[in-house]
Structure 1
């Protein structure tokens, strides 16, 4: 049965108070400005990041106790862990070696593919005013005992998933771990812990014509409205869910939205602005989570947009350059990047602020904006043979979207670890 998109009830606590258009516009502008400067969404809404809910929902949480998996608080409770700077760290970085983690895809193994230096591996995120809890693989596996942790989204979320597996697998004996792929689902098993860490390929979260886990590189992308249950049935029962969706929406054109089924002989397709289509997907994700996940046992995360660095002129570099040959982070703390990120952040702010689902927003966008040095660039397995013209101009084929492992995405998981156990 086809699911349709619905709006929140007018009885929602967020809609009871009438305000003038001027006040509403002013408040919306303040939230938007705060978002684009990289603030934690929980701080924007004057509540903790893990608690993006109306007042009535927050009161319910206080009566029922701590969030699932929480064991304490960061000592400096008001510290924004997403606001900080990158520092060089020779002693604690990298957190594992590329060669010792067999699960990294060849599209992310930069040393194997000839990257001549390792500076990108020796950067640690240092929040202003506090420190991140140290990632403890033994502790995390104990907390995952008998549980399912699932990453859902695109190849950037898969990179974060593989990073998590690499951070954990070293303390598991060889005979007690395995990784298998079943179509869109990849499952890493820690057998002695009866735990799984899983990745599900769903680049739009909704059903689309890009859902084949292997053959999905289509330019004419179509997303089916109200179809999240097509994939969501595989997510049910997970104890920790980490969603992301962003990259595949950025076509530079309007999105094609299918009303009906991909099996219909005559397809009913409309075009929609990217922001509006993304808004529908976010609402659908939250509605699914509210209906299918138990907030007393499950934690839901959403990883924000992973930035790209395809134009070095953006940070004052060569007008014809990109992330290729970049070996140091951007030092300017006010650097932001593309305007598209700002528009999508605004959509997330609007939708999440009305959510009845307790969801933790992992705002990795701003801290990742600084890391022009951390992309795979040309140091990866290429999807197709390179032409002589490309080989003569490495900038033309440098991948400034994905990230080397070990590297930046290990920090994303440190932040996930911090928000999971110390919300």
Structure 2
């Protein structure tokens, strides 16, 4: 301003001197920025807030709090819900279990944003490896994404030594693939379970050999999510180098203790297989053990899970699912060892620690509503999770961890 005073004198500044440069600045520089402001600004701003508040927050320590807005979807709006998890289709009368949301102690867990998720995973692929608990989470993810995009169903039987059934879903607009790679033990087995539903005959587990059915497909995946554990409660015979090295429930199905040798080595072999794949550059998640909630009896002796609301964190010590602590500790120990080796090779491992979170949700299982009530079925389902339901929170964790780079 002093320069203008010197040249023109006070009060003699030409009217167009300020106006023309300002107009040019808006047109040439600022206008494109203003047009693009809505998405980029809010995306950056919200991301910076999340980074400051949540990056150092333990999102798995907290409580379930009342939430009145309801679930992301319902059993009529989502076509991907397996019949055994479609609790309302089979007559579950209560809705209280849907009116809760996970609240970490020191921060907020963002709601699941389907558009944001699909933008992040554009051009990538994600595999859920394990048993039906992993499939439960995968189907939840399909339901959460259904409001934005409908995938193409690519179903087939991939013939290998083990002839395992896989299912693939492809989102063409985003070039994103989701797959479930069924392998309940992670390692090679004789698959006696295919013909034995009584669980009385021992399954042979070759604990030093990964199940090639999933291991032969995993190299090119960007995200690999391992989850499993429920199948390791049954009778098992452990082999290493082709020789029997131990067993579980060898003599008595009810009184013999758990032998976690097979469980530990199955995870060790699975992690080692991924870490040693020469072409693998993806990220690996471990979803910790999903607790069951059989009360007033064992799973095959009338046990059920008919609660309709969560338990508080202080109350969860009264819930003691069989083998939960031992299985959880074994998982975490093997994960920690594998993650250390993975870091040395530039790979990323992330721990989705849902065990304590879900221990507080005995209300979220199908119970007797995992099948048609007209059928003469005496076994209640206190293992899997109703959809919609608390299992959707796992995918809130998944998106948050990917955004925060905790892999």
Give the structure-2-normalised TM-score: 0.74
Give CA deviations for 1:144-184 in whole Å, capped at 9, x if unaligned.
221111101001110001001111122115xx633524352
* Alignment partner of 1:343 is 2:321: no
Match of 1:200 in 2: 181
* Aligned equivalents of 1:211, 1:286: Cα separation in 2: 24
* Alignment partner of 1:282 is 2:267: yes
Task: Say which of 193, 203, 209 aligns to 1:221.
Answer: 203
- CA drift of 1:294 comes to 6.0
Task: Say which of 390, 395, 407 aligns to 1:408.
Answer: 390
* Aligned equivalents of 1:283, 1:118: Cα separation in 2: 40
Residues 240-319 of structure 1: pairs in structure 2 closer than 5 A: 240-251=223-234, 253=235, 255-259=236-240, 268-272=243-247, 274-292=259-277, 297-311=281-295
Provide structure 1 residue ranges, at least 5 long, that are not aligned to the other structure.
Answer: 1-69, 262-267, 391-396
Residues 43-54 of structure 1: pairs in structure 2 closer than 5 A: none
* Aligned equivalents of 1:250, 1:365: Cα separation in 2: 17
Task: Say which of 187, 190, 200 aligns to 2:168.
Answer: 187
Superposition CA RMSD, Å: 2.8
- CA drift of 1:120 comes to 1.5
- CA drift of 1:97 comes to 1.2
* Alignment partner of 1:151 is 2:128: yes
Task: Say which of 78, 86, 89 aligns to 1:109.
Answer: 86
* Aligned equivalents of 1:403, 1:181: Cα separation in 2: 26
Secondary structure in 2 matching 1:345: helix
Match of 1:322 in 2: 304
* Alignment partner of 1:367 is 2:357: yes
> How many positions carry a matched residue from both structures?
328
Distance of aligned partners of 1:374 and 1:99 in 2 relative to their CA distance in 1, 3 Å threshold:
same
Give CA deviations for 1:227-260 in whole Å, capped at 9, x if unaligned.
2151300222100010012110012x5x302346
* Aligned equivalents of 1:102, 1:236: Cα separation in 2: 30
- CA drift of 1:341 comes to 1.4
- CA drift of 1:346 comes to 2.0
Higher helix fraction: Structure 1 or Structure 2?
Answer: 2
Structure 1 runs (4+) greater than 6 angstroms displaced:
none
Secondary structure in 2 matching 1:401: coil
Secondary structure in 2 matching 1:134: coil
* Aligned equivalents of 2:182, 2:196: Cα separation in 1: 10
* Alignment partner of 1:378 is 2:398: no
Provide structure 2 residue ranges, at least 5 long, that are not aligned to the other structure.
Answer: 1-46, 158-163, 249-258, 343-347
Residues 165-180 of structure 1: pairs in structure 2 closer than 5 A: 165-172=142-149, 177-180=152-155
